[in-house]
Amino acid sequence: MRETGILMAVSSLPGPYGAGDLGPEAMHWIDLLAENGVTVWQLLPLGPTGYGNSPYQTYSSRAGDPLYLSLEGLVEAGLLPEKPAAFDLPAGRVDYEQVRRLREPWLRRAYGAFRPDGDYAAFAAQGWVRDYAVFAALKARHGMACWLDWPEPDRSWPQTRDPAATADLEAEIGYQTFLQYEFLRQWNRVRAHAHSRGIRLMGDVPFYVGVDSVEVWAGRENFLLDSDGRPSFIAGVPPDYFSATGQRWGNPIYDWDRLRADGYRFWVERIGYCQTLFDLIRIDHFRAFDTFWKIPAACPTAVEGAWIEAPGYEVLDTLYAKLPGLQLVAEDLGDLRPQVLTLRDHYRLPGMKVLEFTLQPVGRYVRDLGEDRPRQIVYTGTHDNDTVQAWYASLSASYRRKLRKYLKTQGLQSGTMARRLILLGLRSRAALFVAPLQDVLSLGAAGRMNLPGAVGSPNWEWRLDSWPETARQLKALRPAILARR
């Protein structure tokens, strides 16, 4: 069966509380997908967003962002006496700072009503939960500063585990643990509803973790750091079609020799936990399993650096041996050496084809220069691309004319350009076709989710303001979606 998916972040769901969450709107979204033949919901990472509110720079690979906790769900759980009034925030955008400020009193009120039980005790006893709760409590103590700027002994708590260092934080540690417990409870409810409606969930896992994360704070030995804990080398990519100076992400580089020595436990635990949350796991920047761009931390751009080989076969062999049923997807975009595709195909992983990249002018015509293989996922665009409508508007008049002529040969001469590319993608041989919701809605540049290389607003802020137009557009696509099966 050829499937269809929609890409939308949880934060982009509509609702009364300033950002999408795991409550009734998430359930309604799943119902809308199921009613219109869509079988995959692709999400962005769910972790607590850090620098620039990016879901790809989170404080933890396993923790969930409390921003996504449903206040209505806390009412249903008996932890809040009443449904809060809607927040007075602009529709269509997520103001992260204001949403967190307005939600915080309600979350603390719910914690005050919470009574731990055996399930909670078992959850709290997990090592990663305690580490994250302490990390989050210490960040709160230090005004959310990066752990590298904390004073001792807080910086070194993972090495000392000194009870005296956190004695005055036990209430805050309990609160942070509660938030993670409730997040998992609510997520499991959403996941169960998705499965009951025949919807699979595709999660997105960044290859790297952020320097200001519990993984680096509590596991310095897994990364190339100096004696002070700061990265000696950082990750990124060299100059490409996104940036003339490359992308300097700032994430620390893994110490692969150390990871090999303990059987890649870090990766097994990280991906294994994601496997409990998602049905499919897309590895963002998959190419780094083959070779990664290693930038000296002192360099201000990503121009200077070197490609270093990674032990991808060893890591993936270990993951598949330790995690039965694992289903990975390779993000294999960009200028890749052939060995990356060989690695991908060795494990029969679906790769990605993005129509905005593959529909290219060749002479007098536009041609689709991408492969049309069953074992891949075809996209109109991703969270890192402009919307189809904005991309089309940015093309030269000649390019646009050739594109229209090409689509006319495919019987696609009417409707918005986004709608035509969606219909083109639905005809592909690929096992899965995915469109961002912004393209389903034929939105322009205002619908863009992220501009790579830029930090802060308006990145990651796009949000749906209501359901009617989405329901109408999905219903219009339903015949083509069902014909794809």
Q: How many CA atoms lie within 13 A of 178 on its CB side?
A: 19
- Burial group, residue 100, by CB count within 10 angstroms (0-12, 13-18, 19+): middle
Element (H, E) at 3: strand 3-7
CA distance linking residue 94 with residue 448, whole number of Å: 13
CA distance linking residue 339 with residue 316, whole number of Å: 15
- Reference 439, options 480, 400, 382, 484; nearest CA is 382
DSSP SS3 for 5: strand
- Burial group, residue 136, by CB count within 10 angstroms (0-12, 13-18, 19+): buried
Catalytic residue flag (residue 119): no
Q: Is the peptide bond before 458 cis (omega within 30 degrees of 0)?
A: yes
Catalytic residue flag (residue 384): yes
CA distance linking residue 377 with residue 372, whole number of Å: 10
Element (H, E) at 292: strand 291-296
Alpha carbon 357 to chain centroid distance? 21
CA distance linking residue 422 with residue 427, whole number of Å: 9
Catalytic residue flag (residue 25): no
CA distance linking residue 441 with residue 71, whole number of Å: 28
For residue 401, report the phi and psi dihedrals to the nearest 5 degrees: -65, -45
DSSP SS3 for 70: coil
- Annotated catalytic residue: which of 31, 172, 255, 384? 384
- Annotated catalytic residue: which of 3, 21, 212, 284? 284
Beta-carbon contacts of residue 184 (< 8 Å; ≥ 6 apart): 64, 123
- Reference 99, options 18, 176, 23, 22; nearest CA is 18
CB count in 10 Å sphere of residue 127: 9
- Reference 354, options 317, 395, 391, 323; nearest CA is 391
- Annotated catalytic residue: which of 331, 386, 439, 461? 331
Residue 307 zone, left/alpha/beta (φ > 0; ψ -120 to 50; rest): beta
Active site residues: 284, 331, 384
